[in-house]
Amino acid sequence: MKPIELMLPQDQINRRVRELARQITLDYGGETPVLVGVLKGCMVFIADLMRHIKMPVQVEFVAPTSYKKAVRNEDDLTFLGGFSTELKGRHVLIVEGVVDSGRTITLLHAKLKPLEPASVEVVTLLDKPGSHRTKVHLKYVGFSVGNEFVIGFGLDNTQKYRNLPFIGRLLDT
C-alpha cells in the first residue's frame, strides 16, 4: 500500500456530517426530499448523512458513464434501478463525495431539469473551489480543500482506498 497522509480524521468528518444533517433537517422542514447520490464516491457519506436527517427521505442513485462518441469521450449519467421515484414537484438534494471541475453536477442538473423537480440543491462532503470549470451552486459543503487528490470515506484512487474511514492524500502519485 502507498503511504497515506491523514487530512481529515474520522471524528472531524463525523461532526461535520451531523452539522450538515441538522441544517438539512431545518431547511427542508416538513418535506420529504429525494436524496440523489452520485456513485460511487457518495456511498459512505450518504449512508452517514441520511441517518442523521430527522425526517423521511427517499434515496435514488445515479452513476457516471463514459462512452466513446465519434472521436471524443463523452461523459453521461445514468439513473440506476429504473429510478423508482417520480421527481416532478419534489425537492431533490444531490449528494456528492467531492466536487472537482463541477462537470458532474452541471450534467446532473441538466438531466434533472426536464423531470420538473420543485427544487434541486447539492450537498457535497468535499469541494475543490479552485478546480471549478463551470459555475456551480453548492448549498451545503462539508469541507473545502485545495487542488489535490484525496482518498478515503468513499473516494478512490483507481477504485481503491474507498474503505478508509478518514480522508487522506496519497504521498507518491
Give the interface with ligand IMP as residue ranges (CB under 6 A): 38, 41, 96-104, 149-151, 155-156
* Stretch in the footprint of Mg ion (CB under 5 A) among 31-39, 54-62, 122-130, 154-162: 154-162
Site string for Mg ion, 99-138 (x = CB under 5 A): ----------------------------------------
Let me know if 100 is a catalytic residue: yes
| DSSP code of residue 152 | B
Under 8 Å between Cβ of 104 and 96: yes
E strand residue ranges, 86-144: 91-99, 119-127, 140-144
CB of 136 to ligand IMP, least distance (A): 8
The dihedral formed by the CA atoms of 48, 31, 135 and 111, expressed in degrees to the nearest 10: 90
Residue 165: strand pairing partners: none
Nearer to ligand IMP, 117 or 161 (CB): 161
CB of 144 to Mg ion, least distance (A): 19
Give the number of other Cβ atoms within 10 Å of residue 46's Cβ: 24
Nearer to Mg ion, 121 or 156 (CB): 156
Strand 72-79 relative to strand 91-99, pairing: unpaired
The footprint of Mg ion (CB under 5 A) covers: 156
- Residues annotated as catalytic (active site), given as ranges: 100
